[in-house]
Structure 1
Amino acid sequence: MNFDSYKENKGNILLVDDLPENLQLLSDSLIQLGYTVRSVTSGRMALKTVKVKQPDIILLDIKMPEMDGYQVCKTLKADEDLRTIPVIFVSALDDVFDKVTAFELGGIDYITKPFQMEEVVARIENQLTIQRQQRLLEQENIKRRETEEILYQSRAMLASILNSSLDGIAAMQAVRNPATGDIEDFRCLVVNPVIARAFGRNREEMIGKLTLKKFLTTFKPELFNLFVNLVETGEPIKRDFYHPLGNSCWYHFVAVKLGDGFAITIRDITGRKQIELALKDANQKLEQLVNVDGLTQVANRRCFNGRLQAEWKRLAREQQPLSLILFDVDKFKLYNDYYGHLAGDDCLIRIAQTVQQTVHRPTDLVARYGGEEFSVLLPNTDLAGAIKVAQSIQQVIHAQAIPHVKSDVKNIVTLSLGITSLIPVWDVKPDTLIALADRAMYNAKQEGRDRYCTN
């Protein structure tokens, strides 16, 4: 990761940890990246510090004497002035209970020690980006409320501001069928230049004319019925819509009932939409960075651990089986020594992608567990189903026929697979599944490799 790209996005960060060496490590790294950093060694000092000057983000350790991180977070969230400060827990505690507790108390994220600075910076920047977007959206909402308030003023006040407004503003009156009373169209009573340009007319050509239904027929025909319902029920309409016009393409409109018609305000939100799309793209890239193995492009160990925890809970509730296959490449050290590490990397990529294509269900997960070891998590699958998957994996890897002349098993790359299946229960840890599969894989190696064993 190129840290220099973060220097222009500075933020005020408070570090809370009772170990000075931890504070020094984080503080030095973050200051070097351009952040403003304050450090304290206790929960009570942290609470005093934030009242003097609020930080943008707090990085908070959990295990501290006198007042732990949970108590600090709980106190912050109970204070009306401090509750919006994002808290990222940084702790060596890796149990799911600790993480759930952290989030229940109001933590916005959780980083497990030992950490990588790239991950810390990515998570900090994600929260700072969200804060910036929230501020922009809050400003946008304030402007909308101001515009909506103007709509309820008299026509005399509207006339004085229409021409100078950056928003499109118009007032429409219902035109009803004399016999049935049904709304057939809307007559334009008031319109400003922004709205007129959208219609391709000037204001004088529109006022008093029946133009709305014809315009909506070529734009969004379904809106006409929504405007009719607005007049009949009084239910306001708020929505975003896409309509390319010059350099703008995204708009937000608010329509409210006004007499026997409605008033509408239209705002160009192209800039905001572009920011939202950029944020979504950044989040997707962060998700990939955190959960995908950089070499093989299948799920990584972190992603596997998270999915295992989630599936264990779900299937414990449903009392359905969860199966796991652990496998590694036979004699892979000899492969690396003979063919070279680049060829070894290519071999792992090929195996990972082949297995990924073999395991078809969306709920199944293929992950690189570590080194040349991989895992396949199979929810709602019993032992017989897991064995079929393992057999398919063996067959497709045999079919690849990757040469391995230094192997005393076969002259091609082979796998040793361990299979296990359990119905999860609440008082048993998910790690039990891993231990059983690992033992089965060990047995497969002891029995001569290039085979699977169950446990």
Structure 2
Amino acid sequence: MKVLLVEDSIASLQVTQKFVEEAGHTVITARDGEQGIQQFLAHNPDLVLLDVNMPNMDGYQCAQRIRKNCQQGNLWIPIIFLSAEITEDAIVMGIDSGGDDYLPKPVTQRVLSAKLRAMSRIADMRKELEEASARLKRLSSIDGLTQLYNRRHFDEVLELEWSRAERTQEPLSLILCDIDHFKAFNDNYGHVAGDDALVRTSQTIMHTLQRPTDLAARYGGEEFAIILPATPTVGAMVVAEQMRKAMDTLAIPHHFSNASSIVSMSIGVSSYYPAQANSSFVALLDAADRGLYRAKKNGRNRIEMQPL
């Protein structure tokens, strides 16, 4: 564990630090409440040992400030107060200030070690909970079949990237693509083959994208969407053509398509430039969709760019 020790007495700080380190934990020290808050923000400790009686900002005030930062980060870091006077009023005040426990001063190694073992269990449980929450959040954003992001996550990111483009004055491009005659493929080759084609197409799209900021999503059925931040039209067209050619390399037979003898894609591209007035991410999406419609109408297995 990383333990933040906030103590104004040099003697008490040195003794307590020695006990914590001998228990196998890392210690970050601070000599007053203000420095304690700075160290808390800088190091994100697993536990705070906080002296109550300090000049300028006492332990209760420091705990309240720490709790405000915990709430902003949606975290709960245990706080144990250190005090020579543990009265009923002090305990109530400590709990109301955001503390979780008290240790009497002078601190003994045996009691402190026991408290640290308990706090270690809490830290382990918190870590497991955070990891489970992260896995759950990821699962809620991922399409189960293709492992691309799902439509809900795509919508959220598109709105965020639109706001970023407006703020940074950089272009934002969007690609919509659709597997040509996918219903005929499913009807004639079966749904297992159809699912396999979707998975392989998704992998091909992901391998085409070069930057971690680019995002690919399954937009619905056999339709895919790609967000390209800080990318002008010419760059988006290059990516779209790379995707179309990659499908040729994939070479999944499709003898029931009038666009190609293999599985192919029709692609619509649109780009937003911050200088354009009266635009929105909805308008960008609509423009890419119109480009996709034109690609289908003009023979499929092609790319069409649609201005906003």
Provide the C-alpha distance between the structure 2 equivalents of 1:236 and 1:320, rounded to a whole number of angstroms. 40
Provide the C-alpha distance between the structure 2 equivalents of 1:236 and 1:333, rounded to a whole number of angstroms. 63
Which residue number in structure 2 is paired with residue 288 of structure 1? 138
In the alignment, structure 1 residue 432 sits paired with structure 2 residue 270: no
Shift of residue 440 of structure 1? 1.1
Provide the C-alpha distance between the structure 2 equivalents of 1:241 and 1:415, rounded to a whole number of angstroms. 48
Match of 1:390 among 240, 258, 265: 240
- Structure 1 residues 376 and 251 mapped into 2: Cα distance closer, same or farther (>3 Å)? closer
* Secondary structure of 1:403's aligned partner: coil
Shift of residue 414 of structure 1? 0.6
- Structure 1 residues 416 and 264 mapped into 2: Cα distance closer, same or farther (>3 Å)? farther
Provide the C-alpha distance between the structure 2 equivalents of 1:263 and 1:322, rounded to a whole number of angstroms. 61
Shift of residue 230 of structure 1? 3.6
- Structure 1 residues 377 and 236 mapped into 2: Cα distance closer, same or farther (>3 Å)? closer
Amino acid at match of 2:155: N
Which residue number in structure 2 is paired with residue 378 of structure 1? 228
In the alignment, structure 1 residue 402 sits paired with structure 2 residue 252: yes
- Structure 1 residues 453 and 172 mapped into 2: Cα distance closer, same or farther (>3 Å)? closer
Which residue number in structure 2 is paired with residue 311 of structure 1? 161
TM-score of the pair, normalised by structure 1: 0.46
Match of 2:209 among 359, 367, 373: 359
Which residue number in structure 2 is paired with residue 173 of structure 1? 11
Residues 172 and 263 in structure 1, CA contact (< 8 A), matched pair in contact too: no
Residues 235 and 257 in structure 1, CA contact (< 8 A), matched pair in contact too: no
Provide the C-alpha distance between the structure 1 equivalents of 2:259 and 2:156, rounded to a whole number of angstroms. 35
Residues 419 and 441 in structure 1, CA contact (< 8 A), matched pair in contact too: yes
Provide the C-alpha distance between the structure 2 equivalents of 1:400 and 1:235, rounded to a whole number of angstroms. 59
Partner deviation per Cα, 1:45-80 (whole Å, 9 max, x = no partner): xxxxxxxxxxxxxxxxxxxxxxxxxxxxxxxxxxxx
- Write the mapping of 1:153-164 to structure 2, written as runs, cut at 5 A: none
Shift of residue 398 of structure 1? 0.8
- Write the mapping of 1:263-302 to structure 2, written as runs, cut at 5 A: 266=112, 267-268=115-116, 269-302=119-152
Q: How many residues matched?
A: 240
In the alignment, structure 1 residue 337 sits paired with structure 2 residue 187: yes
- Write the mapping of 1:39-78 to structure 2, written as runs, cut at 5 A: none
Provide the C-alpha distance between the structure 2 equivalents of 1:234 and 1:349, rounded to a whole number of angstroms. 54
Shift of residue 436 of structure 1? 1.1
Match of 2:219 among 369, 374, 386: 369
Shift of residue 283 of structure 1? 1.8
In the alignment, structure 1 residue 454 sits paired with structure 2 residue 292: no
* Secondary structure of 1:351's aligned partner: helix
* Secondary structure of 2:246's aligned partner: helix
Which residue number in structure 2 is paired with residue 211 of structure 1? none
Residues 313 and 426 in structure 1, CA contact (< 8 A), matched pair in contact too: no
* Runs of 5+ consecutive residues of structure 1 not aligned to the other structure: 1-147, 153-170, 175-184, 201-217, 243-249
Provide the C-alpha distance between the structure 2 equivalents of 1:433 and 1:234, rounded to a whole number of angstroms. 48
Provide the C-alpha distance between the structure 2 equivalents of 1:234 and 1:289, rounded to a whole number of angstroms. 40
* Secondary structure of 2:210's aligned partner: coil
- Structure 1 residues 230 and 402 mapped into 2: Cα distance closer, same or farther (>3 Å)? same
Match of 2:295 among 434, 438, 444: 444
Provide the C-alpha distance between the structure 2 equivalents of 1:264 and 1:353, rounded to a whole number of angstroms. 59
Amino acid at match of 2:265: L
Provide the C-alpha distance between the structure 1 equivalents of 2:31 and 2:295, rounded to a whole number of angstroms. 70
* Secondary structure of 1:405's aligned partner: coil
Partner deviation per Cα, 1:231-256 (whole Å, 9 max, x = no partner): 9x9966987999xxxxxxx7654468
Provide the C-alpha distance between the structure 2 equivalents of 1:360 and 1:442, rounded to a whole number of angstroms. 26
Provide the C-alpha distance between the structure 2 equivalents of 1:342 and 1:234, rounded to a whole number of angstroms. 62
TM-score of the pair, normalised by structure 2: 0.66
Which residue number in structure 1 is paired with residue 262 of structure 2? 412
Shift of residue 289 of structure 1? 2.8
**Quick check: which has more Rg, 1 or 2?**
1
Amino acid at match of 1:435: D
* Secondary structure of 1:173's aligned partner: helix
Provide the C-alpha distance between the structure 2 equivalents of 1:374 and 1:281, rounded to a whole number of angstroms. 29
Provide the C-alpha distance between the structure 2 equivalents of 1:234 and 1:318, rounded to a whole number of angstroms. 35
Provide the C-alpha distance between the structure 2 equivalents of 1:219 and 1:435, rounded to a whole number of angstroms. 56
Shift of residue 336 of structure 1? 0.3
* Secondary structure of 1:323's aligned partner: strand
Amino acid at match of 2:187: D
Provide the C-alpha distance between the structure 2 equivalents of 1:199 and 1:270, rounded to a whole number of angstroms. 14
* Runs of 5+ consecutive residues of structure 2 not aligned to the other structure: 1-5, 55-104
* Secondary structure of 1:418's aligned partner: strand
Q: Say what the alpha-carbon RMSD is for the aligned residues.
A: 3.8
Residues 323 and 420 in structure 1, CA contact (< 8 A), matched pair in contact too: yes
* Secondary structure of 2:304's aligned partner: strand
